[in-house]
Amino acid sequence: MSEQFKPNATVAAIIHHQGKFLIVEEIDDGNVVYNQPAGHIEADENIINALKREVKEETGLAVDPECLSGIYYHYRAELNLYYLRFCFVCELDNWAETSPSDADIIQAVWLTEQELKAKGKQIRSPLVLECIDDYLAGKRYPLSILHSNI
């Protein structure tokens, strides 16, 4: 019997306020890239708590997701890796000061969709823009579709 296939399960946040998205500038393989606050789900952690932890580590913000904007299955051929990403929407009522604690994060910045697209190849994954496009298209799914015994 072959080894069981396991995609990388990740969470990501769309943090939005007045037309801008909170994006993290980070180091990936020695390069500066732009990404949503995102990361891997850890053992014994439910999906929503994973999102809250990742956002806190990468931005310093405590968020409560309102809904999902989508669930994405993505293959990165150059790494031969598969990702299953849960993307959450977190609307903010006010501008927030950020203070990342993750050593790989340079800073968290507020960007419009156009400013982010201008980063071109520095965008870490095509999923970043796909998630934002889905958000802007009004795609929303209730958190109640998620079930966990953790």
Q: What is the CATH number of the domain that holds 81?
A: 3.90.79.10
Q: pTM of the prediction?
A: 0.91
Report residue 1 as tokens. Answer: 């019997």
List pLDDT tens digits, range 52-88: 999 999 999 999 999 999 999 999 888 899 999 999 9
- Give domain status of residue 3, yes or no: no
Model pLDDT, residue 95: 82
- Give domain status of residue 101, yes or no: yes
What three-state secondary structure class fits 137?
coil
Model pLDDT, residue 3: 86
- Give domain status of residue 42, yes or no: yes
- Give domain status of residue 49, yes or no: yes
Model pLDDT, residue 67: 98
Torsion of CA 72, 76, 81, 85, to 10 degrees: -20
Model pLDDT, residue 1: 61
- Give domain status of residue 103, yes or no: yes
Model pLDDT, residue 92: 87
**Interior CA angle at 51 toward 50 and 57, to 5°?**
90
Residue 133 CA to residue 77 CA, distance in Å, equals 22
* Domain enclosing residue 81, as ranges: 8-143
Q: Within a 10 A sphere around the Cβ of 1, how many other Cβ atoms?
A: 3
- Give domain status of residue 1, yes or no: no
Model pLDDT, residue 146: 94
* DSSP H/E element including 121: none
Residue 59 CA to residue 57 CA, distance in Å, equals 6
- Give domain status of residue 12, yes or no: yes
- Give domain status of residue 61, yes or no: yes
Q: Are the C-beta atoms of residues 30 and 73 closer than 8 Å to each other?
A: no
> Considering its fold, how many domains does the chain have in total?
1
Taking 50 as the pLDDT cut, the residues of the chain under it are none
